[in-house]
Structure 1
Amino acid sequence: MFLLFMQSSLKLLLIFVLPCFVAECAYKIWWYASGASQIPFLGNVVLSDTVACILELCSWLYRTIVIFLVCVLFHLICHLQILRLQDFARVFQVESDVGSVLSEHLRIRRHLRIISHRYRGFVLCSLILITGSQFASLLITTQAHAVVDIYRAGELALCSITLVTGLLIILRSATKITHKAQAVTSLAAKWHICATLDTVDAIEAETPRFDSGQVFPVVGTDGESDGDGAGDEEDELDNSKLIPAYAHNTISFQKRQALVTYFENNRAGITVYGFTLDRSTLHSIFGVEFALVLWLLGKTVGIS
């Protein structure tokens, strides 16, 4: 597990840090080569610019790795919980009792609550600070008497790309795990209705019209059900496949209904001080920030 964690961390860091570092190196080398620095503090202009460029790149790389390391750590923690949710979804494919399903879901909710409490300050501060820095950069570049050249614009662009990329990693990870956790409700409802239909049909029909492992399978010309041709994005939590009806043998209708009601009223996910980070929350954040951007542009360059 530790090896997998280190490999995933290094992979994500290389994916996000390496392109930014290459762009920063190219920009800084061009910036010093074009004569932006005129102070030969080592007695030689070329040597001074080379040392200053290397030191500045090392400083930028250290700050960027620190930012991305925390973001990648949060992403990996969320991904591990997603894997656990996918394992949890398999309990609906086999014979299992309501008590074991409920206890496992309570453990998952507890872990998600712990993650939310430990990272809510970081997520909120990242959102506020990165949003504030981007608005400050926008104000600097669009005010009436601003001096904007390629040097300042390039520096602001690279810093903005780094910060926004880190914020997107955090928000995407939190939204994805919230979506997967809430998909358990629809999975439980599908499991409940498959078992109910199987029970009703077994009572009414003298001979079963289906095999005991599948409820109302729709078979195509290739001998596979419609769900087998679904896209690769579907998994155990979110798919269009029917569920084998094992539940009617051991679990009564009332117990299944109570379990579905519990899932409907106890949705899990990543929260920040009571606000669930799901797609609706992201849409609200985007709407607020887009309105602020238009307001700021209206005050500076007259866009309305």
Structure 2
Amino acid sequence: MDHSGPWGAALSWLLFLLLAVAVPAAAHFLLAFRASRRPFSAVVQVSLSAASAAGFLCLSSSFRRIGLRRLLYLDKLRTKSDRVRLNYTARLSFSFRLLASLVAPCFAAEAAYKVWWYATSGDRVPFFGNDVLSNAVACSVEMAAWMYRSAIYLLTCVLFRLICHLQGLRLEDFAGTLLVEVEEGRAGVERVLREHLDIRKQLKVISHRFRKFIVASLLIATASQFASLLLTTRHDSVDDLLNTSELALCSVVLMSGLIIILSSAAKITHQAQALTGQTTKWHACCTIEPVPDEEAEPGSNHSSMLEVEPVSDSDGESSEETGDEDLLENTKIMLPQAHVISFQKRQALVTYLENNRAGITVFGFTLDRSYLHTIFMLEWTLFLWLLGKTIGFS
């Protein structure tokens, strides 16, 4: 995926055409030369190649125009707070471990299936005149193509998740520290507006860079599930482990990537929308003991806001059950002892946030949780049905 120079880009494209196009085509037309052999090969090869092509085109376009550092916003980390930098660095390391944890099990299962399939298949591949050598070469090339296509697709999904996580850290930092700084007089409302505008701009840029990949992933996964269901539910379909294991592995890869994309988009959109509620609560707490506007002067001496836990029936619940969005959805009541921001400015800020909600959008449609629930249930139903037809027991 090196597009820093013409030679690197040429090598990247050559490797893609070889492992994502030529090898799958040869595996389907040369190895599956009988209808009874690998009946689901076309669905598997087309689905994986299409998914890897969507990821490759998305990443290659971004690498060519802005490079990896700007794609991951590493060049802008120096202007962020220490908390954002440290958490993003830790999340960057975790993303590579996540990618390995997704690719390695699928590759191990695919390798075991390929070895078993070539060892038990009645047909042989007479490429070199030696059955063992021909099967070993064909098996190795097919596993390399599977590994490459799965890794490219899942890498794009993981990078999208990482970029969304950075914006989530910025939103949490926005809600956790910036509003307090405004109340304490160390920052003005204009800084809040500037920071929120910058977050909205970056979310729009992220949406623009990945919108085609998101739509392509959704369409490819849905089409693959429908095609698989049509093939496995035919009256003459032989749904045994030898024929359908590769189909199940393909569905696992596609659904894993799609879940990563949808969950990341929904989470960052939910955090961006929860910021409005956090700011509204801050405005309400500042209005509990109002001070006349003419008495509230920026920079005057005052005490910081007090945090009071509300009394509720859920006080006995563990704080660990609240998840990782406490900074945006905490239930603490902030009781200010003095005010430096006038009511009109606070109301204007709340009105602005209510009418300018940020989030991941795809051609104008916001990918929030309510919108994604329908997509997830449709894909999950097809996925479970497919697994039941392929590796289920009757």
Q: CA deviation at 1:24?
A: 1.0
SS in 1 for 2:334: coil
In the other structure, the counterpart of 2:115 is 29
Q: Which of 192, 197, 210 matches 1:119?
A: 210
Q: CA deviation at 1:165?
A: 0.6
Moved more, 94-103 or 159-168: 94-103
Q: CA deviation at 1:215?
A: 4.3
In the other structure, the counterpart of 1:106 is 197
In the superposition, the TM-score normalised over structure 1's length comes to 0.82
RMSD: 3.0
Residues 136-181 of structure 1: CA deviation (Å, up to 9, x unaligned): 0110101223333322210110111011111111111111110111
CA–CA distance in structure 2, aligned partners of residues 233 and 124 of structure 1: 28
1:154 aligns with 2:245: yes
CA–CA distance in structure 2, aligned partners of residues 40 and 264 of structure 1: 68
SS in 1 for 2:339: helix
In the other structure, the counterpart of 1:73 is 159
Residues 24-61 of structure 1: CA deviation (Å, up to 9, x unaligned): 11211221222354234323322222222111111100
Amino acid at match of 1:46: V
Q: CA deviation at 1:244?
A: 5.8
CA–CA distance in structure 2, aligned partners of residues 13 and 102 of structure 1: 36
Q: CA deviation at 1:11?
A: 1.4
The answer for unaligned runs of 5 or more in structure 1 is 201-210, 221-225, 294-304
CA–CA distance in structure 1, aligned partners of residues 316 and 283 of structure 2: 18
Q: Which of 105, 108, 112 matches 1:19?
A: 105
CA–CA distance in structure 1, aligned partners of residues 317 and 342 of structure 2: 29
- How many positions carry a matched residue from both structures? 279
In the other structure, the counterpart of 1:237 is 328
In the other structure, the counterpart of 2:349 is 259
CA–CA distance in structure 1, aligned partners of residues 123 and 97 of structure 2: 36
Distance 1:241 1:75, change over 3 A: same
Distance 1:32 1:238, change over 3 A: same
In the other structure, the counterpart of 1:274 is 364
Q: CA deviation at 1:254?
A: 1.6
CA–CA distance in structure 2, aligned partners of residues 54 and 78 of structure 1: 36
CA–CA distance in structure 2, aligned partners of residues 194 and 214 of structure 1: 9
1:92 aligns with 2:182: no
The answer for unaligned runs of 5 or more in structure 2 is 1-73, 76-87, 292-301, 384-394
1:38 aligns with 2:129: no
Q: CA deviation at 1:214?
A: 4.1
Distance 1:219 1:154, change over 3 A: closer
Q: CA deviation at 1:18?
A: 1.1
> Retained in 2: the 8 A contact 1:214–1:245?
yes
Runs of 4 or more, structure 1, over 4 Å off, are 226-229, 287-293
In the superposition, the TM-score normalised over structure 2's length comes to 0.64
Residues 50-79 of structure 1: CA deviation (Å, up to 9, x unaligned): 222111111100111111111111111111
Q: Which of 355, 368, 373 matches 1:283?
A: 373
CA–CA distance in structure 1, aligned partners of residues 231 and 264 of structure 2: 31
Q: CA deviation at 1:289?
A: 5.5
Moved more, 158-167 or 138-147: 138-147
> Retained in 1: the 8 A contact 2:303–2:336?
yes
Moved more, 21-30 or 54-63: 21-30
Distance 1:219 1:269, change over 3 A: closer
Distance 1:238 1:130, change over 3 A: same
In the other structure, the counterpart of 1:171 is 262
